[in-house]
Amino acid sequence: MLTILLRIVASALVIALACPSLARAQSTETPPQLTPEQQAAVQAAIIKASQNPVGNIAIIPFQFNNNYGVGPYSRYQFNLNVQPVVPLMLSTNWTLIARTIIPVLDNPSNAPPSVCASAYGCGSTFGISDIQEQLFFAPKTKPNELIWGAGPYFQFPTASPGVLGTGKWSAGPAAVALVMPGPWVMGVLLTQLRSFAGKAANAPVNSGAIQPFINYNLKGQWAISTSPIMSVNFNAPGNQKWSIPLGGGVTKTFKLGDQPMQLGIFYYTYVERPITTPQNFLRVNWSLLFPVKRGFDLQEIIKEATK
């Protein structure tokens, strides 16, 4: 399993360095003639852009989720989400943000402990789950205005082995709205999916998610954050519909050489959940940041910093 994970991470890094839309040629370097105050303003703007789902910054996050208490026997599940976010400038006034979610799962067995203790054992199932694609069309906004974006949301039956996915083609809308006053970045992301094709024997998909997010940026490029994903399965019975976590964590933005990146750690526990959802989870985020020159208005940032 470790070998496969390393290959996935290495492949994503190669894409980040090779793809023109993500390469360093697209990044915003802080000019040496800037004053320390202006340099700090640029770094703060990059951090806030990274917290904006429709910001002008390309990001490759690796989200390592350690899920505890999954299934009827409260077992451990590992989930790596590779989530590249790429902004594409359609015009001076509109940006298309493409967010791909590639989930890698190591799913525990649902066999009873007596079976797991036998000579046969009960190993986990490792593979890729259904890949998702979120597209947001976002207009250019002025400072201190409401920022928003909306577009289609797709889920593809890419799971291998198939038991790790839905076996269905699904689609729906996605929308996000946020404000960024002072050190705050606050908003909400809404998504909804319904299946329209796929394996007839598999259950239909009819799900939604509400993800409020709050970031408070501290000095030293630290941030306190919470972004619980509250999901609902409309087809599930009674008290098995909702998954509601509570928690949060901290993030540090820094550079390794010339490459901006972030490292964060978060802990969440579920106050409402179906049996297939973990009781709690520990998440470690590692993200590579690539500010985009065309959309990242350096002069406007400097102007705001010198007021």
Asked whether the predicted pLDDT for residue 92 surpasses 90, the reply is no
How far is Cα 117 from Cα 220, in angstroms, rounded to an integer? 50
Domains of the chain by start residue, with CATH? 2-305 (2.40.160.40)
pLDDT tens for 217-242 read: 998 999 999 999 999 999 998 888 99
pLDDT tens for 7-25 read: 454 444 444 444 444 444 3
Asked whether the predicted pLDDT for residue 299 surpasses 80, the reply is no
At 28 the pLDDT is 43
Is residue 218 within 8 A of residue 183, CB to CB? The reply is yes
pTM as predicted = 0.85
Q: Mean pLDDT in the chain?
A: 86
Asked whether the predicted pLDDT for residue 29 surpasses 50, the reply is no
pLDDT tens for 121-131 read: 788 999 999 99
Q: How confident is the model at residue 34 (pLDDT cuts 50, 70, 90)?
A: low
Is residue 22 within 8 A of residue 12, CB to CB? The reply is no
Mean pLDDT, rounded, for 187-205: 96
Crossing angle for the helix pair 36-50 and 298-305, to the nearest 10 degrees: 120
Residue 109 gets which letter from DSSP?
P
Is residue 64 within 8 A of residue 80, CB to CB? The reply is yes
How far is Cα 91 from Cα 131, in angstroms, rounded to an integer? 28
